[in-house]
Structures are given as C-alpha cells and as structure tokens.
Amino acid sequence: MAQDVLCEVNNCTYWAHGNKCSADKIYVVSHTGDTAESQRETDCKTFEPEGLS
C-alpha cells in the first residue's frame, strides 16, 4: 500500500506541504464505467491495467 499520496492541487483543502494529500480517504474514478483501459480514462495518474506484469 502506498505510504504517500501526492497532490499538486494546492488550493484543495487536503493539500499539505510537499505536495502531500492529507485526506483520510482517496476516491479514484473511471470515466468509462467500472473498468478503464488507460490512465487517461481515470482520475488516477498512477493507473496501470491489471495483468501487465
């Protein structure tokens, strides 16, 4: 599990020094329903489809 969640939106309530996210939970969505084929179909910059390894 990730130890740090990064955020570059410095006017967000949860933005903290060092581009850290201080929210208790993170909510990531797909713009195409329940699954996504690529990162640009999500609001997650670290998205990778399952089964790539």
* 53 residues of the chain, pLDDT tens digit each: 778 999 999 999 999 999 999 999 999 999 999 999 999 999 998 888 888 65
Q: Are 21 and 5 in contact (CB under 8 A)?
A: yes
Could you tell me the pTM of the whole model?
0.71
Closest by CA to 32, choosing from 44, 17, 20, is 44
Predicted local confidence at residue 49, as pLDDT? 86
- For residue 27, give both structure tokens: 């909510």
- For residue 19, the tally of other CB atoms under 10 A from its CB is 13
Predicted local confidence at residue 52, as pLDDT? 67
CB hemisphere CA count around 36 (13 angstroms):
16
Predicted local confidence at residue 22, as pLDDT? 94
